[in-house]
Amino acid sequence: MDTVETRRNAVEKLINEKGSVSFAQLKEAFPQVSEMTLRTDLKALDEERRILRIHGGARSVQVLIDTDDFLSRKAVRNIPEKQLIAKKALKLLRPDTTVFLDSGSTATVFARRFPDQSNLIYTTGLSCAAELAALSRPAVMIPGGRLNRYSQSVFGFPAIREVEQVNFHQAFLGVAGYQNPAGFTCGVYEEAMLKRTAARQADQVIVLMDASKAGIKSTFHICDLKEVDVVISDGKLPEDFLRECETYQVEVL
């Protein structure tokens, strides 16, 4: 196997492991490779249908369009980062409040660590609800709607209408990516609308996001950075994103 193919296999492997990567992340992972060579590699891999080039980066072809990936695949990626995010999120929780907890692998890790205290929790994640079922004190609500079999979540207009009737103290949102000026995005239109509704109904909007999501633009807009109060991450967010957060006075944990 020649050097070019070895390198392209390594690029493909990284993209498959992460699900999606920004070009900045690729440059960091392959510092010895020039930008022009990396762009040529992405073009070749895309033409061979081994990866999918997207604006500002690349996405694994193993990630299905409009599903935001299988939960089982996401659950085994970036595990230490998700555990750190969950640990930080716990410090923001207050008893006797109403909380919206989004679906997704990071939210599931958070739900697994949720304290057994008095809260009213609305969650769209079936895996989150299963974790919360072990607790005796919180009241757990699952909005009615369509089942996304891939992400094991509930979405759709019935769920949106139900969430519209609730005033949340905090909304913990998962996202597929963030890129300026697209803002926070995800891959399913009705899920984006549901997340947007929960954010609008919340006193405090908190985004759970590891650094792999920075620089990634998915299909549907959730909200802008200026509409968020706190971003909880893994301490590896790029400097340009941190500067944006500072501009909009968004707290980063």
SS3 percent helix, strand, coil of the chain, rounded to 5, is: 40, 25, 35
Q: The whole model's pTM is what? A: 0.73
Q: What pLDDT was estimated at residue 173?
A: 97
Mean pLDDT value of segment 77-85: 82
Alpha carbons 11 and 7: distance in angstroms, whole number = 6
Using a 10 angstrom Cβ sphere, with 0-12 exposed, 13-18 middle and 19 or more buried, the burial of residue 82 is buried
Measure CA of the first residue to CA of the last residue in the chain; give whole Å.
44
Alpha carbons 244 and 80: distance in angstroms, whole number = 25
Q: What is the pLDDT of residues 173-215, one digit of tens each?
A: 999 899 999 999 988 888 999 999 999 999 999 999 999 889 8
